[in-house]
Amino acid sequence: MSLTDEQTMTLEAYADTIIPGEKRGPDDRAIAGVATGGGAVAAGALDILQTEAGGLAAVLGGLADMLDKHVLAYAEEHGIELDPTAPPFVALSYQDRVGVVSMLCRPGHPEKQMWVNLAMFSNMAFDTGAHLSTARAFETGHPGLLHLGFRRPDSDGLWRFPEYSYRRPLASPHPATTPSGSPA
Amino acid sequence: MTTVDNTDVVVIGSGFGGAIAAYHLAAGGARVTVLERGPWLTADEFDQDFLLGSSTTRIFDFTVGNGMSVLGGNCVGGGSVVYFAAMPRVPGFVFERKGSIGRRMWPAALSRPTLDPWYDRVEESLQVTKSDWNTVPYAGGLFGAACAAAGRTANPVPTCVNADECVNCNWMMSGCKYDAKKSLLLNYLPAALAHGARIRPLHEVQKIVRTDDGGYRVHFSVLDEVDYRVHHETGAIDAKIVIVAAGAGATPSILMRSAAELGPMPAAVGRHFSGNGERLNTAILDEDKVREVLGLSRSDGVPFEAGQIGKGPCVATWDDLDGSKPEYDRYSLEQLYFPPGLGTILAQVPDATGPTWFGPEKKAMMAKWQSWLTIFTMIEDDNEGVFGPPPPTGNSYRVSQQMFGLGSLSYDPTPNTLHGWEITDAEVKRIMERDGLSKVMPWTNDLVGAYTVHPLASCRIGDDPATSALDDRHELRGHPGIFVTDGSAVPCALTVNPAMTIAALAERAMPGIVAALRERGVDVSYGAPTPEGATSSRAALQPHLLPD
């Protein structure tokens, strides 16, 4: 199911609240711009959310619309006047976006699971780029893997760490350790 | 139209409980069919790739419940393919635990001395070896050094990873490409196949019903190999004996769904679930302090920055596995690796001024990911997990094509469990924040509840019919001929990694199951050597065989 521009902006703003990044240009309203470097959106949050494998693609538009309804209630409660030229969640300051996400993902909120799912996939876009093969993610300079400092594989695409150990005893074993190395 | 096959034994699941049963019963002469709902992959098919649809998601399940999320294997070989292969034996005091029922939870027949011979067999079969500091990766070494500086002992943990074959890539949750991890794909399962057992992957058992001849009919559906939400044909197999070993997160769903036709289940089916008391803390290391306080430096001069390097948990501290301490005060702490994907979202920012699990401060924390050290806590929880009505199929409502689903398990930690987590959080903080070594925060339980990679006890053995679903021979009370041999049979949290104990209990259950088969007229014997013993024997024999 294709998303409207407003729905896309709303979901981008949600993902950007989870792992914020820098604006893509002066007219970028979805990204709040509270961090430097690419965030969840640049890492491919919308791509991963729309994969068939992820399982959320069919409900994304509905989630965006529900989010905006929650924002209207939140804005009224907090006396916030929303700019009508942007979708309600996008119109919020970053601080209020945090307020809405915190409210929806709070234990006990009846819709918590779906908002946590959206947050998990947004985070996963950033920390794995799981809509891409990891080799391809590195080729495209995936901002999340680079941010984590995830090491690149060897030339055959596999990881090996020949240097991996301090190679010396660093603590005394428990005195009751059995001969096979287990607790007594 | 459902076609019906026929065999002596159906084994549901091919993890430790299933593979061990399949081997011994097939080796003894029984006809054995293993139904495994996950795919069948071998080393060359394991990917080092986060892509959705790679082996990372094909062979792993993440089932979110209400207050508890369960992570586990979903493939031929089960948990042994995706786990971190730490194989300690359980300390003796655990067998005396009373938990919240006020009396010993384990059957009288079981204690550490009575289980030790079965541990010995598993040690041989899976090539469990005692690790040493020369092969402990940086993360384990650092945790050991921090423990020593804080006045604690620390042990390299016994594992079934061959250190000479391991490249310390830390991709073992996606399956070991190098076969350095001695999963069940390398011992019990090939040995079972050699004795004629059949393994059917992507066969998800939905229910068990009784047949007129006193046996059972096991109904399954065949899952799509890419989209596990899609079921293709259905079928059934008749058997004299059924062994349920679908894992502690799935066995209760099968039995509870079967109750409508099999008759009432014991009250303990789907109750008394334990998450093995598990919890994680993340320490964000100050690299300079690693050098100054602990005197550690890699060969390239960097103190640590090695969060990605290694082979899962390699060092644990066991000072609080002390039987003289009161129950709920005993625990172990273990260094762990948790890959991205699920391994960063729950980690919380120390000293946050804004949200702890997302936002700009979390992003800044993630920039130090190579300097994260994850500490795994295993306490004594209170068996407080309860399964709700099973979903229509499987053990979850699958959201994604693979891996991610929503289950029916509820878990509301009691004050005892919360106490255990509180004292261990404090001790991790004491060890890891000493002299400014790091800043520590536990993972949040607010998003997916508590979480466990070691689900246990949801269909447990015991002597008391009111609080145990199985007798001490693992037979399901009131349903003769159905046995449960997976982690759900373990009575309680173990304070250490449980795979060794699940496997040892399965080994111990085999003579009784052989006897049950013989009672039903199957010509089967017990006494096969460990599969590794047979392998070793064949290898030793090879040079002496005459060429054709």
Q: What is the pLDDT of residues A87-118, one digit of tens each?
A: 999 999 999 999 999 999 999 999 999 999 99
Number of alpha carbons in the 13 Å side-chain half-sphere of residue B279: 28
Distance from CA of A147 to the nearest CA of B (A): 5
Is residue A184 one of the residues assigned to a domain?
A: no
pLDDT by residue (tens digit) across B414-425?
A: 999 999 999 999
Mean pLDDT, residues B55-79 = 97
> Which residues from chain B sit within 8 angstroms of residue A31, using beta carbons?
none
Give the pLDDT band (50/70/90) at residue B542: low
Calculate the average pLDDT of chain B. 96
Q: Strand, coil or helix: what is B243?
A: strand
Q: What is the pLDDT of residue B543?
A: 64
Is residue A163 one of the residues assigned to a domain?
A: no
The ranges of chain A with pLDDT < 50 are: none
**Helix B499-519 vs helix B16-27: angle between axes, to the nearest 10 degrees?**
40
Give the pLDDT band (50/70/90) at residue B535: low
> Which residues from chain B sit within 8 angstroms of residue A54, using beta carbons?
52, 400-401
- pTM (2 decimals)? 0.96
Give the pLDDT band (50/70/90) at residue B532: confident
Name which of A53, A127, A175 is nearest B52 (Cβ-Cβ): A53
Give the pLDDT band (50/70/90) at residue B2: low
Contact with chain A for residue B343, Cβ under 8 A: yes
- Whether pLDDT at B332 is above 80: yes
Is residue A157 one of the residues assigned to a domain?
A: no
Mean pLDDT, residues B491-510 = 98
Q: What is the pLDDT of residue B540?
A: 61
Instruction: Give phi and psi for B110, each to the nearest 5.
Output: -110, 135
Q: Cα(B384)–Cα(B473) distance, rounded to whole angstroms?
A: 24
Give the pLDDT band (50/70/90) at residue B4: confident
Q: What is the pLDDT of residue B265?
A: 98
Q: What is the pLDDT of residue B503?
A: 98
Contact with chain A for residue B362, Cβ under 8 A: yes
Instruction: Give phi and psi for B18, each to the nearest 5.
Output: -85, -45
Q: Cα(B502)–Cα(B156) distance, rounded to whole angstroms?
A: 21
Is residue A99 one of the residues assigned to a domain?
A: yes
Determine what percent of chain B is predicted with pLDDT higher than 90: 94
**Helix A5-18 vs helix A60-78: angle between axes, to the nearest 10 degrees?**
70
- Give me the number of domains chain A comprises: 1
Q: What is the pLDDT of residue B38?
A: 98
- Whether pLDDT at B343 is above 90: no
- Whether pLDDT at B534 is above 80: no
What does the DSSP assignment read for B389-430? SPPSSTTSEE-SSSSEEEEEEEE---HHHHHHHHHHHHHHHH
Name which of B138, B354, B446 is nearest A166 (Cβ-Cβ): B138
- Whether pLDDT at B538 is above 60: no
- Give Cβ neighbours of residue B161 (< 8 Å, ≥ 6 apart): B85, B172, B176, B180, B181, B182, B311, B312
Name which of B48, B89, B319 is nearest A153 (Cβ-Cβ): B48
Q: What is the pLDDT of residue B545?
A: 64
Numbers of helices and strands, H then E, in chain B = 12, 21
Q: What is the pLDDT of residue A38?
A: 98
Distance from CA of A119 to the nearest CA of B (A): 9
Is residue A153 one of the residues assigned to a domain?
A: no
Distance from CA of B151 to the nearest CA of A (A): 9
ipTM above 0.95, yes or no: yes
Q: Are B168 and A164 in contact (CB under 8 A)?
A: yes
Is residue A17 one of the residues assigned to a domain?
A: yes
Q: What is the pLDDT of residue B342?
A: 85
The domain of A88 spans 5-148
Q: Are A88 and B370 in contact (CB under 8 A)?
A: no
Is residue A125 one of the residues assigned to a domain?
A: yes
Contact with chain A for residue B398, Cβ under 8 A: yes
Instruction: Using alpha carbons, list the distances in angstroms from residue B488 to A92, B205, B236, B271, B424.
Output: 48, 17, 24, 10, 25
Widest Cα–Cα separation across chain A: 72
Is residue A161 one of the residues assigned to a domain?
A: no
